């Protein structure tokens, strides 16, 4: 809408008007014309407006310029620099010998565009109509009505002049109706008149503008339909809430932008209001607006005529897309948490059993020669244990109960180092491309878990390209603003490092994307449905965010955002050489409530040369430590136990003055040792199920740390 700004007309009786004003003057003599037009253009030239005076035989071009020059001695300078143009009607209205409304209107707008491009505020113009023949009157009245409508959209002021001796009563009424103001001379005084109809039209226009402004402020889209489904009113569709799509909405019926699956619902609401006369409330529909899928909450109200019959239906829609997305993300988080609680409930006991199975299997393998035929079955058993342990870990990541050993890392290095493995995973028919931006910020993640995220995403991309294609991994710094955060539950604005994994595969439908991170949801015949859900858990546990962008047959991009941290990259250390043994009489207090696992722990530790005290619970461990005369060097304790848990036991021992190193072990974290799922600095932790080697190395690290 054109911003209204008062402009001085130079005409005392008219005063200041806004851009878009359309005025007429009735005159009897040439002096009447000059009385109004000379100060009108004098003021326009002084106010940095481009001025255009179209004359007729009543007042020639030379006469008009001479009259202006008497008031403006420097008139020729205005003409020279192109601010003033005076031309006869034959070169404007009757170019080619005929009057063409469209050509004249387009000419005014083109002159306005030229003026603004040259630095003028707008266009001030006048045109005389004494050349007009009676047979042309009807077309010219239509032209004036169109001028009046169009001018309101542009920085233009127009003053049209009419000779009274060429106008009858009907013509005068037509002229006044199509102009905001009319100037007429009574005696020696000029007066300004405005028709009652014009005032009503203006009041209605202002009321509608206010209504539209209020509707746009609320973010509503309002459309009225008659019984034939034709729109009689459209308000608010061009508001920011609907992506400024008024042209799209006006080009079709409102039902046309509703997705095909919801159009029957749309039609049913429309017909119900006409049939029953009762409103319909709270119907959520999906619409394609501004090129994107939006959710709109709609209501339908009957509009009745004077007889009380429903003549129209008013359709009101509010964009609830962000609210709907937040609700979906909340429900998704609840699902993840529910599965995580279930997994946490079984993980402790299940991982204890897996540790016992794997421990004794490993001991059996150690006792067999390398060429023993019995090794094959035992190795298969260990493979099955590892697969079972992986499934448990994936379940635990859903609710962020898998403890992360986070380090400050460079994601660019992590992606680059993973390249060789990724190429083996995706196969030769898929082209792998990586793009790592320079100057990457640091992030704090568990390197092993983050490698698993990237492998899972790469495997999903591979499966989406059965005929081959291209896999691209990009790493870059990015800032997420308040707008992005408001549309994604749990995301804080700030600096992030983004990893984008893109493929050229089959893509996904909106339905698949809705369930993508749900546990056990899969589109693969042999899939477990835990790969992407575990990615979701790891990323969330690392303080990050994961999003998907995909369309059917257009490929998929998965973006992982991890928050920026300060710090120096911590080098990862890989275990080398044989399992370290005890160093001269070191004693370990092993606390485990599962008898089979406790027996295995004692057996392994004793074979590694440690003296071992064993306890089934915290109270027993506390008693053994107090009774022992010689020092205990390491507390190896289960974290989750009935009664006193492992952390409380360690704190009680410390309070009793029984100083010793501590190594916790568990099948999952209940939050006792972690902050948002990440192990607190300095905490030693052994993840169940563990192997002979991992137990031996962790014990040695704890004692030496």
* pLDDT tens-digit series, residues 193-220: 876 555 655 555 555 555 555 545 555 6
pLDDT at 322: 77
Write down the residue that tokens 């002084």 correspond to.
46
Which stretches of 101-180 are DSSP H helices? 101-117, 137-151, 169-177
Contact (CB, 8 A) for 84 and 78: yes
Mean pLDDT of 639-664: 88
Contact (CB, 8 A) for 348 and 639: no
pLDDT at 526: 61
Mean pLDDT of 280-297: 79
The residue with greater pLDDT, 400 or 150, is 150
- Dihedrals φ, ψ of 561, to 5°? -115, 125
pLDDT at 247: 42
**Which SS3 state, helix, strand or coil, does residue 525 take?**
coil
pLDDT at 356: 86
Residue 144, both tokens: 């004036």
Going from the C-alpha of 212 to that of each of 215, 235, 316, the distances in angstroms are: 5, 6, 13
pLDDT at 187: 85
Q: How confident is the model at residue 501 (pLDDT cuts 50, 70, 90)?
A: very high
CA dihedral 523, 529, 533, 538 (to 10 degrees): -130
Which of the residue ranges 227-241, 302-316, 337-351 would you say has the lowest mean pLDDT?
A: 227-241
Whether residue 592 is predicted with pLDDT greater than 80 in this model: the reply is yes
Contact (CB, 8 A) for 570 and 408: yes
Strand locations in 515-573, DSSP E? Answer: 545-550, 556-563
Q: How far apart are CA 495 and CA 30, in angstroms?
A: 73
Residue 304, both tokens: 């009745």
Q: How far apart are CA 562 and CA 496, in angstroms?
A: 5
Give the residue from 668, 669, 665 showing the smallest Cα distance to 686: 665
Whether residue 327 is predicted with pLDDT greater than 70 in this model: the reply is yes
Q: How far apart are CA 587 and CA 437, in angstroms?
A: 51
Q: How far apart are CA 523 and CA 319, in angstroms?
A: 31
SS (H, E, C) 625-673: HHHCCCCCCEEEEECCCCCCCHHHHHHHHHHCCCCCEEEEEECCCCCCC
Which of the residue ranges 403-417, 592-606, 625-639 would you say has the lowest mean pLDDT?
A: 403-417
- Contacting residues for 227 by C-beta, under 8 A, at least 6 apart: 274, 311, 312
Residue 466, both tokens: 């059965």
Q: How far apart are CA 396 and CA 525, in angstroms?
A: 24
Q: How far apart are CA 691 and CA 687, in angstroms?
A: 10
Note the residue count of the chain: 705
Query: What are the b/e assignments for 523-548, b being 16+ CB within 10 Å?
Result: eeeeeeebbbbbbbbbbbbbbbbbbe
Mean pLDDT of 633-637: 93
**Which SS3 state, helix, strand or coil, does residue 120 take?**
coil
Whether residue 243 is predicted with pLDDT greater than 50 in this model: the reply is no
**Which SS3 state, helix, strand or coil, does residue 420 take?**
helix
**Which SS3 state, helix, strand or coil, does residue 55 take?**
strand
Give the residue from 63, 72, 62 showing the smallest Cα distance to 40: 72
Contact (CB, 8 A) for 499 and 415: yes
Burial category of 680 from C-beta neighbours within 10 Å (exposed 0-12, middle 13-18, buried 19 and up): exposed
HSE-CB at 145 with a 13 A cutoff on CA atoms is 10
- Please provide the average confidence, as pLDDT, over all residues in the chain: 81
Mean pLDDT of 639-658: 88
Query: What are the b/e assignments for 464-493, b being 16+ CB within 10 Å?
Result: bbeeebebbbbbbeeebeeeeeeebbebee
Q: How confident is the model at residue 179 (pLDDT cuts 50, 70, 90)?
A: confident
């Amino acid at each position: 809408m054109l911003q209204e700004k008062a402009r001085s007309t130079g005409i005392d009786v008219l005063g200041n008007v806004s851009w878009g004003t359309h005025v007429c003057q009735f005159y009897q003599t040439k002096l009447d014309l000059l009385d109004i037009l000379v100060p009108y253009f004098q003021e326009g030239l002084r106010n940095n407006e481009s001025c255009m005076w179209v004359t007729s035989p009543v007042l020639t071009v030379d006469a008009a310029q001479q009259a202006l020059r008497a008031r403006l001695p420097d008139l020729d300078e205005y003409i020279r620099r192109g601010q003033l143009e005076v031309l006869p009607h034959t070169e404007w209205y009757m170019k080619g010998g005929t009057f063409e409304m469209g050509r004249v209107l387009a000419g005014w707008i083109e002159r306005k565009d030229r003026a603004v491009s040259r630095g003028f505020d707008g266009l001030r113009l006048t045109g005389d109509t004494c050349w007009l023949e009676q047979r042309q009157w009807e077309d010219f009245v239509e032209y004036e009505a169109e001028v009046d409508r169009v001018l309101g959209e542009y920085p233009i002021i127009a003053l049209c002049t009419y000779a009274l001796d060429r106008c009858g009563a009907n013509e005068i009424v037509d002229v006044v109706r199509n102009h905001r103001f009319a100037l007429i001379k009574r005696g020696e005084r000029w007066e300004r008149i405005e028709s009652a109809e014009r005032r009503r039209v203006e009041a209605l226009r202002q009321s509608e503008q206010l209504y539209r402004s209020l509707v746009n402020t609320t973010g509503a889209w309002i459309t009225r339909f008659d019984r034939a489904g034709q729109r009689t009113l459209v308000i608010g569709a061009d508001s920011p809430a609907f992506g400024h799509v008024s042209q799209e909405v006006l080009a079709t019926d409102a039902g046309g932008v509703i997705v095909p699956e919801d159009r029957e619902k749309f039609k049913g609401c429309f017909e119900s209001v006409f049939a029953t006369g009762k409103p319909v409330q709270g119907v959520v529909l999906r619409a394609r607006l501004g090129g994107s899928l939006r959710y709109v909450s709609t209501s339908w109200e009957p509009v009745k005529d004077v007889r009380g019959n429903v003549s129209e239906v008013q359709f009101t829609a509010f964009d609830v897309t962000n609210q709907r997305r937040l609700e979906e993300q909340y429900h998704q988080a609840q699902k993840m948490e529910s599965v995580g609680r279930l997994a946490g409930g079984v993980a402790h006991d299940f991982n204890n059993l897996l540790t016992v199975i794997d421990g004794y299997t490993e001991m059996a393998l150690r006792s067999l020669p390398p060429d023993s035929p019995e090794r094959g079955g035992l190795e298969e058993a260990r493979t099955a244990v590892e697969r079972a342990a992986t499934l448990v870990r994936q379940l635990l990541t859903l609710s962020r109960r898998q403890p992360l050993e986070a380090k400050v890392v460079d994601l660019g290095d992590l992606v680059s180092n993973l390249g060789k493995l990724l190429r083996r995973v995706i196969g030769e028919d898929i082209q792998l491309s990586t793009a790592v931006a320079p100057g990457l910020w640091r992030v704090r993640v568990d390197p092993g878990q983050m490698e698993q995220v990237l492998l899972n995403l790469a495997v999903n991309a591979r499966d989406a390209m059965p005929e081959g294609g291209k896999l691209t991994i990009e790493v870059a710094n990015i800032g997420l603003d308040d707008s992005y955060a408001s549309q994604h539950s749990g995301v804080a604005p700030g600096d992030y490092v983004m990893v984008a994994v893109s493929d050229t595969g089959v893509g996904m439908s909106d339905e698949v994307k809705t369930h993508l991170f749900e546990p056990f949801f899969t589109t693969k015949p042999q899939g477990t449905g835990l790969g992407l859900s575990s990615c979701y858990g790891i990323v969330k546990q690392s303080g990050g965010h994961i999003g998907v962008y995909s369309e059917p047959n257009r490929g998929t991009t998965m973006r992982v955002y991890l928050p920026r941290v300060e710090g120096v990259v911590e080098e990862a250390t890989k275990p080398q050489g044989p399992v370290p043994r005890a160093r001269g009489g070191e004693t370990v207090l092993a606390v485990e409530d599962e008898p089979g696992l406790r027996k295995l722990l004692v057996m392994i530790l004793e074979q590694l040369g440690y003296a071992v005290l064993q306890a089934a619970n915290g109270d027993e461990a506390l008693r053994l430590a107090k009774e022992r005369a010689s020092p205990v060097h390491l507390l190896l304790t289960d974290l989750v136990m009935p009664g006193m848990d492992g952390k409380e036991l360690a704190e009680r021992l410390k309070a009793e003055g029984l100083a010793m190193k501590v190594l916790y072990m568990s099948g999952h974290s209940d939050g006792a040792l972690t902050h948002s799922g990440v192990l607190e600095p300095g905490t030693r932790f052994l993840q169940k199920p563990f192997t002979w080697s991992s137990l031996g190395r962790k014990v040695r690290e704890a004692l030496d740390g």
